[in-house]
Chain A
Amino acid sequence: MKGPDVVWYLCVAGFLFSTGALGVLIRRSPLIVLLSLEIMLNGANLALIAFSRHFAQGDGQIFALTVMAVAASEVVVGLGLIVAIARQKLDLDVDKLSTLRG
C-alpha cells in the first residue's frame, strides 16, 4: 500500500475535528458556526476513509458518502434559516437567539 500510515491521516482528521469544534464553541456568527460544523464532519469523514483504506474494506467509504449527503442537506436547511433570520433584520449572533431558554 502506498502513502503515509493511517496514524498520519488520523492526526489530520483529529486536527480538523478540533478546529471545527473550537469554531462552533467560540464563534458567534451562525454562518461561521455552520462552516465549522462542516469542518468537523469532514474530519470525521477523513477518519472513516482512512480506516476504510487501512482495513481494505468499502464500508467506511460508503458511510462517508452518506455523511456528505446528510451534510449537504443540513447546509441547505441551515443556510435557509440564516437567510430567514437576516430577512427578519435580526442580529446574526447565536448568543442572541435564545428564545428557547427554559
Chain B
Amino acid sequence: MIPAAWICLLSPLAATLLITLGWNRLSRRGAGYLATLSVAVSFVAAIVAFAALLGDSPNERYHPSTLWSWLTAGQLDFGLRIVVDPLSVFMMLVVSGVGMLIVLYSIGYMDGDDEERRYFAYMALFVFSMLLLVQAGNLLILLVGWGLVGLSSYLLIGFWHDRPSAVAAAKKAFVINAIGDATFALALFLLIQRTGSLNFEVVFTQSIHGSWAINLIALGLLGGAVAKSAQLPLHTWLPDAMEGPTPVSALIHAATMVTAGVYLIVRTGSLFEQAPKVLELAAGLGAITIVMAGLIALVQVDIKRVIAYSTMSQIGYMFLAAGLGAYPNAMFHLMTHAFFKALLFMAAGLVIHALAGEQDMRKMGGLNRLLPFTYVCFAIGALSLAGIPPFAGFFSKDSILAAALDGGWYGELLWVAGMVGTFLTGLYAFRMLFIVFWGEPSGFVREHLMPGSHAHAREGPLSMTSTVGTLAVLTVIGGFLQFANVWTPLTTWLDPVARPLVEASGTQEAVSSILAVALGAAGIGIAWWIYGSRKAAAPRIAWAQNLLEHKFYFDEAYDFAFYRPAVFLATGLSRWIERPLVFGSVRELVQGVGLLGRDTSRLQTGLVRTYVLLIAASIAVLTVVFVAVR
C-alpha cells in the first residue's frame, strides 16, 4: 500500500467539499487557489507514488490497497480498492499534472464570472473522479469513476446554465455517454457471471469460456470507450461540448476525460486480446474517426470546434494503436496529446479572452502582431498536432503509424488512413492558424485590441500566460520521452501491465516518419497557399461542402432514427394512454371519494340520540347474525 496514492485521490475531493460547504465565506479567488492547491497536492503525491514504484523491481510494481468493503452480495465482495502500478501512476501524473496547470489557468480565465466558486468545486470534483477512474483497483470502482467523470463533464458543459445551447449540449453529452455506461455495465455483469469477480488480478488472469461471452464483454467495454472518447458512431456530443468554458474543454474534452476510453482498452487489454475481432473493430473505428473528423474540421468556423474535431481525430490515432495492441504507443500519444491539445485550447482561450468571448474565426485575423506570445504558443501546438519534428506530436504519432505497418494487411490499411489523417491534420490546423493569426487585423479585432494598450495586459494575466508557456515547453520537450527503437523508457515502464503485441522495426519507423512528416508538411503548405498567402481560393464543391458542414449528417440521422420516433411515441402515449386512462382514472377516483364522503357525512347528525340508537341497532343486528351463524 502506498499512502501517497490515497492522498493523491482524496485531495481534490476535500477541495470540492470545502468549497461547497464554505460557499460565501470563501472568496472567489480563494476557491480558485484552493482548487489549484488541492490538484497540486495530488500531483506531488503522484510523484511520490511514482518514486515509490521506481524503488521496486519491475515485476513487483503492483500495489493494491482496499480502504473498506464497499459492496457485499453473496459471494461477491467489492472493496473501495485502488491499485498503484505503472499504468495508473502514469495516468495519475498526466491527469494531476495537466489538471493543475489548467485549474491555475482557470483562475485568470474565469475571473469575474458570477459563479466562480461553483466552477472550481466542479473542476476539483472532476479531477477527483478522473483520478478515481485511473486508480481504480477493480472494474466496479472504475465504472464509478467513469460515471462521475461523465457527471462532472455534464455539470461543466452546462456551467453557463442560462444559455439554452449549453444546457442542450450538456444533455446530449450525458445521454450519449449514458449509452456507453450502459454497455460498459452490461459487460461487467457478464464478466461477474463468468469469473465471479471484478478485481483486476482475477479478471485479467482468467481465460473466459465461450467465444460469444468474451466477444460480448469486449464489445460492451468498447461501447463504453467509444462513447467516452467520442469515436464513431457515438462522437456527436464532443463538438457540442465546446459550449463549456474553454479551460473545461482543455481539461475534460481534450487532455483527460476523452482519453479515458483509450485507458480502458489498455487496462483491459488482456480481455480484448481474447476477442481479437473486437480489438480490430476498435482500431477500425479509430481509423475512420481520424479521417472523418479531419475532414469535418476543414470547414468549421468556430475555433474551439476545429480543435474539438482534431481531438476526435487524435483519439482516433490512440484507438488505432490500442486496437493493434501497441499499448505504449497509445499511452505515449495520450500524454503528448494532453500537452499539445491543452496548449492549443488554452492558447485559443487566450484569443477568446482577448476578444471578449468571440469564437468565430471569420471575425478574427492578424492577431500575430497583437498577441505575439499567444501566436508562438499556438504555433507550437499546431506544429505538434501536425506532427512536425521536434515537437511532441511527431514522436508519438509516428510511433503509432510505424506500429500499424507491423500489423499485417489490416494494419497497412489503417496505416493509409492514418497517413491521410496526417495530411488533413496539417491542413486544418494551419488553416485555423492562418485565418486567426495572419493577414490584416479585422475590424472586429481592432475594436477589441486597441493599439495603445500593452501586449501583456492584452494577452491575459500571469496565471494564464504562465501555464500556457509551461505547456508550450512541455510540448517541445515532451516527445523526447521516447524515441523509437533507441530510447524507450515508457515502453519498458509500462511493460509489466501492457506488453505491446506489435513491434515496429527501424525501417518501418523511418518510412512512416518520413512519409508522415512529408504529408503533414504538404498539408501545411496547401493551407499556406490557400489561407496564408491567399494565392488560391479554397475549391468549392457544393455537395462536399454540404456534407462536411452537416458533419456527415450524423446529427440528422440520429434525430430521424431515435429522437423523432421517441417524441412521436411519447406524444402518442400521452394523448391516447396517459390523458384518458391515467389522468382520467385519477379524476374519477377523486370524484368518487368526494361523493362517498359527502354521502357518509349525512350520517353524522350531531344528535347523541341517533348515535346511541345506531349503536344499539348495530349491536342488535350483530347479535342476531352471531346467533344465526352459530
A positions within 8 Å CB-CB of B: 21, 24-25, 33, 94-95, 97-102
CB < 8 Å neighbour of B609 from A25, A100, A101, A102: A25
The residue among B600, B604, B608 with the most chain A CB atoms within 10 A of its own CB is: B608
- Check A101–B612 contact: CB distance below 8 A: no
* B602 adjacent to chain A (CB < 8 Å): yes
Nearest CB in chain A: distance from B611 CB, A: 10
Distance to closest chain B CB from A79 (angstroms): 16
A34: min CB distance to chain B, Å? 11
Q: Which chain B positions have C-beta within 8 A of A101?
A: 604-607
Contacts of B616 in A (CB 8 A): 21, 25
Per the bound structure, the CA–CA distance linking A97 and B607 in Å amounts to: 7
Q: Decide if A102 touches B612 in the complex (CB within 8 Å).
A: no
A25 touching B604, Cβ below 8 Å: no
* Residues on B with beta carbons closer than 8 Å to the beta carbon of A97: 606, 608
Cα-based distance from A25 to B606 in the complex (angstroms): 14
Q: A25-B612, A25-B613 are in contact. Are A102 and B601 (CB under 8 A)?
A: yes
Q: Which residue of B lies closest to A21 (CB)?
A: B616
Chain A CB within 8 A of B457 CB: no
- Give every chain B residue within 8 A of A33 (Cβ-Cβ): 608
| CB <8 Å contact, A95 and B604 | no
- A-contacting residues of B (Cβ < 8 Å)? 600-609, 612-613, 616
A102 touches B608 (CB 8 A): no
Chain B residue with the shortest CB-CB distance to A26? B609
CA distance A31 to B604 in the complex (A): 23
User: Do the beta carbons of B606 and A100 come within 8 Å of each other?
Assistant: yes
Asked if A98 and B607 sit within 8 Å, CB to CB, the answer is yes
Chain A nearest CB, measured from B383 CB (Å): 88
Chain A residues with CB under 8 Å of B609's CB are 24-25, 94-95
A102 and B607 in contact, given A21-B616, A25-B612 (Cβ under 8 angstroms): no
Beyond A25-B613, A102-B600, 10 additional pairs, beta carbon < 8 A: A25-B609, A25-B612, A94-B608, A94-B609, A95-B609, A98-B605, A98-B606, A99-B606, A101-B604, A102-B605
Specify the chain A residue showing the minimal Cβ separation from B603.
A102
Question: What are 6 A-B residue pairs whose CB atoms fall within 8 Å in the complex?
Answer: A21-B612, A24-B609, A97-B608, A100-B604, A102-B600, A102-B606
A102 engages B604 (CB within 8 Å):
yes
B602 touches A102 (CB 8 A): yes
User: B604 to chain A: which residues have CB within 8 Å?
Assistant: 100-102
Which residues from chain A contact B602 at a C-beta distance below 8 Å? 102
The answer to whether A94 touches B601, judged by C-beta atoms less than 8 angstroms apart, is no
Q: How far is the CA of A9 from the CA of B612 in the complex (A)?
A: 26
Q: Which chain B residue has the least Cβ–Cβ distance from A94?
A: B608
Cα–Cα, bound, A57→B606 (Å) = 42
Verify A94–B607 contact, CB threshold 8 A: yes
Point out the residue from A21, A24, A95 that lies within 8 Å of B607, measured CB to CB.
A95
Minimum CB distance partner of B611 in chain A: A100
CB-based nearest B residue for A24: B612
Chain B hits for A21, CB < 8 A = 612, 616
Contacts of A99 in B (CB 8 A): 606
A25 to B603, CA, bound (A): 17
- A98 CA / B605 CA spacing, docked (Å): 7
How far apart are the CA atoms of A101 and B605 in the complex, in Å?
Answer: 5
Q: Give A102 to B598 CA distance when docked, in angstroms.
A: 9
> CA A101 – CA B603 in complex, angstroms?
9
Distance in angstroms between the alpha carbons of A52 and B602 in the assembled complex: 43
A54 to B605, CA, bound (A): 43
A24 to B614, CA, bound (A): 13
Residues of B within 8 A of A95 (CB): 607, 609
Could you tell me the distance between the alpha carbons of A100 and B607 in the complex, rounded to whole angstroms? 8
Residue of B nearest to A95 (CB): B607
Distance in angstroms between the alpha carbons of A95 and B612 in the assembled complex: 13
B contact residues around A98 at 8 Å (CB)? 605-607
Shortest distance in angstroms between A74's beta carbon and chain B's nearest beta carbon?
14
Contacting residues, chain B, for A100 (C-beta < 8 A): 604, 606
What is the distance, in angstroms, from A100's C-beta to the closest C-beta of chain B?
A: 5
Q: Which residues of A contact B608 (CB under 8 A)?
A: 33, 94, 97
List A contacts of B603 (CB < 8 A).
102
Name which residue of chain A comes closest to B616, CB basis. Answer: A21
List B contacts of A25 (CB < 8 A): 609, 612-613, 616
Give the Cβ gap from B608 to chain A, nearest Cβ, in Å.
5
How far, in angstroms, from A24 to B605 measured CA to CA in the complex?
17
Q: Give the 10 A-B CB pairs with smallest separation, nearest first.
A: A102-B604, A98-B606, A101-B606, A102-B601, A100-B606, A94-B608, A24-B612, A98-B607, A101-B605, A25-B612
A43 to B71, alpha carbons, bound, how many Å? Answer: 68
Q: What distance in Å separates the Cβ of B567 from its nearest Cβ neighbour in chain A?
A: 50
Chain A nearest CB from B116 CB (Å) reads 61
Docked complex Cα distance between A25 and B615 (Å): 11
Provide the bound-state CA to CA distance between A21 and B620, in Å. 13
Q: What separation, in Å, do the CA atoms of A54 and B604 have in the docked complex?
A: 42
